[in-house]
A and B are shown apart, each in its own frame.
Chain A
Amino acid sequence: EDKVVQSPLSLVVHEGDTVTLNCSYEVTNFRSLLWYKQEKKAPTFLFMLTSSGIEKKSGRLSSILDKKELFSILNITATQTGDSAVYLCAVASYGGSQGNLIFGKGTKLSVKP
């Protein structure tokens, strides 16, 4: 059975800290891995990763994929209180259901001032 596992489930840090969120997966016919940020509303897209070793960056956020070890990390440097959210990892596969997206349970990040 395909699955996506995120760790830690929750994390509390102080402003200015650097955090690393983890996502491991077991998926048949992997196509891509995505990161979303969810505040008290709908998830918003952050990154899509398809190739190993190529870092995607957006401001203080960055992410990288390791297709050999089947995991991805999301880094946030110099955290701010506005980074407090649930971060969701999802994986898409080329399986029989091309539109199927499997989400992890998320990592809840709390950034204290």
Chain B
Amino acid sequence: EAQVTQNPRYLITVTGKKLTVTCSQNMNHEYMSWYRQDPGLGLRQIYYSMNVEVTDKGDVPEGYKVSRKEKRNFPLILESPSPNQTSLYFCASAPLRTSGSETQYFGPGTRLLVL
């Protein structure tokens, strides 16, 4: 089954404790992206990747890191989480065609609480 998977789905942590949220897709998509969704603010893009070893900042990259060493994986790293990073996180992937990366497939989401 074609899908985007994220782990963990729920996470409670404390300020300053490094964490990684994994994202994996099995559709051989070039494009992958991370979003956070907050009430009243909608979906905001954190980082995206157009292909292996190619990453770029979205609208809200501060406090996050990403890497794209393999095509299927795009982990999101919070080196020193803070309470303002409490949010619902979505990973997405898309094939890169002439139309771009718009038809994105979203993962199920990771709900993160930073105390």
Contacts and interface: CB of A to CB of B under 8 A. Distances in A.
Interface of A: 31-32, 34, 41-45, 48, 50, 88, 90, 92, 97-106
Interface of B: 31, 33, 35, 40-45, 48-50, 56-59, 90, 99-109
A93 to B, nearest CB: 9
A100 B45 contact: yes
Interface of B is mostly: strand
A41 B31 CA distance: 21
A50 B103 CA distance: 12
Contact of B31 (A88, A99, A105): A99
B106 A44 contact: yes
A103 B44 contact: yes
Contacts of B102: 31-32, 34, 48, 90, 92, 101
